[in-house]
Amino acid sequence: MPYDVVTLGEAMVRLSPPNFRRLEQAETFDVQVGGGELNVAVSVARLGLSAAWVSRLTRNPLGRMVEDRARLHGVDTGHVVWTDEDRVGLYFTEFGAAPRASAVLYDRAGSAVSKLAPGMVDWPSVLAGVRWFHTSGITPALSASCTEVTREALQAARAAGARTSFDVNYRKKLWSPEQAGRVCTDLMQWTDVLITTEEDTRIVFGITGADYGEVARQLVERFGFQAVAITIRENPLVWQNTWSALCLAGGTLYESKRYTVEIVDRVGAGDSFSGGFIFGWLASAGDLQYALDFGVANAALKHSIPGDLCWTTREEVEALLKGGGMRIQR
């Protein structure tokens, strides 16, 4: 059967010192698996739709660890390209507390997925009958060949009749604003739904506005998107933020509730929004207010969960949407 959602991107093994230790202090590491587009596929699958994740992995224990975590959550990995060469990328997360911000150190150069090239994936076969294709700005930032594969996949998705989404997800440790702007601007011609932040929009597209709604309007005017979703984070403290989003579609501006979140782990929260938003859109046959509210609630819950992946259920998200309280669930 065709998948509801297919995603394309890198996944890495994450190592984090426990108990707020700095990397230099580390004696042990907590081990997690995550990556923007895999995180989205996991959310979609856990919430109840079928999802496949496309990438390239090295055939070794770390590559199998990544695949195992994806399959644990019901994500199809049958289209992953395997190699006996290269490596699985690593990244280290150092959790901070005010006034010290959390920090990330990448060790991903030469990863297997960075050598993914056009022609390695049979996109017409993967995308036949698919309802939605998702990727992000991280994928084309990995290498020139990954840029070409991202373009190839978006074009194939458009040809297959799938709705396409792109999360800007700017990473300054991967490429410059000029590089990101040039590549992402080109890719927007095959993008139906843009997911972004005000900061990423300013850095990558040079767009600013009096408020978030004006930023969304400028994006739609420039690129002709079906919809633009902007997530909004206010972080007065490292471990307490507010979280909300808005969506502009068909000339209508939708706004979500704002949640105050106590953060256990914010890594992957934006991806949890994307996964919840895509799920909400498909599950409701295009009710944009429901999709927005569902994505924001799913991401709010993700802040309370360790690791990159969002271990939520549809029932939990819907309970939060109905105003679920903080009493112990017995």
Residues noted as catalytic = 271
Sign of CA pseudo-dihedral 316, 321, 322, 327: positive
The burial of 226, by beta-carbon neighbours within 10 Å (0-12 exposed, 13-18 middle, 19 or more buried), is given as middle
∠ CA 266-268-273, nearest 5°, is 100
Q: In 100-162, where do the E strands start and end?
A: 103-107, 132-136
Q: What span, in angstroms and rounded, lies between the C-alpha atoms of 259 and 244?
A: 6
- Tokens representing residue 324 in the block: 């679920």
- Tokens representing residue 16 in the block: 């984090």
Q: How many Å separate Cα 45 from the centre of its chain?
A: 14
CA nearest neighbour of 95 among 14, 197, 33, 10: 14
Place of tokens 């902007």: 230
Q: What span, in angstroms and rounded, lies between the C-alpha atoms of 41 and 30?
A: 23
The burial of 257, by beta-carbon neighbours within 10 Å (0-12 exposed, 13-18 middle, 19 or more buried), is given as middle
Helix (H), strand (E) counts: the chain = 11, 15
Place of tokens 């000029």: 178
Q: How many CB atoms lie within 10 A of CB 110?
A: 12
Contact 140, 183 (CB under 8 A): yes
Q: What span, in angstroms and rounded, lies between the C-alpha atoms of 147 and 138?
A: 10
